[in-house]
Amino acid sequence: MTHRAGGQRFSVQPGVVASYVETFARLAGRIRITLLPGLPEEEITDPEERTFHIPDMNCKHCRATITALLESMQAPVAEIDPVTKRVVAGFRTVAARERAFDAIRDAGYTVVPPR
């Protein structure tokens, strides 16, 4: 979004993005990805194991947020319905599903896992 000050237009977004990228690049070497202890890396073969519910998903914004989050974690969304609260996503492993569930919870949503 552009702003006006003193009769001139300006935008703060390019500066914010540049600062974010610079900070991330500086800290990227410190990041270490590890598996959570105790989570099996077994593949998910049962389609029901890819289905879960998010009871507090209510609108298109919720749907878009959760879809973007799952797809950023390489879990393509096959179905997501704010009315039934049902989500079907392409998790490859149990551990990947659990990491996605944690990310959804971190975004402020409740996850009801498969039975």
pLDDT tens-digit map of 20-55: 889 888 888 888 777 666 655 788 888 889 999 999
* Distances 55 to 12, 58, 62, 115 between C-alpha atoms, Å: 37, 8, 11, 15
Query: Within a domain: residue 53?
Result: yes
Domain count of the fold of the chain: 1
| 27 occurs within a structural domain | no
Tell me, what amino acid is at 45? T
More confident residue, 102 or 1: 102
Domain contains 84: yes
Q: Higher model confidence: residue 37 or residue 113?
A: 113
Give 67: exposed, middle or buried? Use CB within 10 Å, 0-12, 13-18, 19+.
middle
Domain that includes residue 76, residue range: 47-106
pTM of the predicted model as reported, rounded to 2 decimal places: 0.64
CA distance 3 to 102: 37
- 79 assigned to some structural domain: yes
Is residue 20 in some structural domain? Answer: no
Residue 32 belongs to a domain: no
**What pLDDT was estimated at residue 114?**
87
What is the rounded average pLDDT for all residues in the chain? 87
C-alpha torsion 50→56→59→64, nearest 10: -40
CATH number, domain containing residue 55: 3.30.70.100
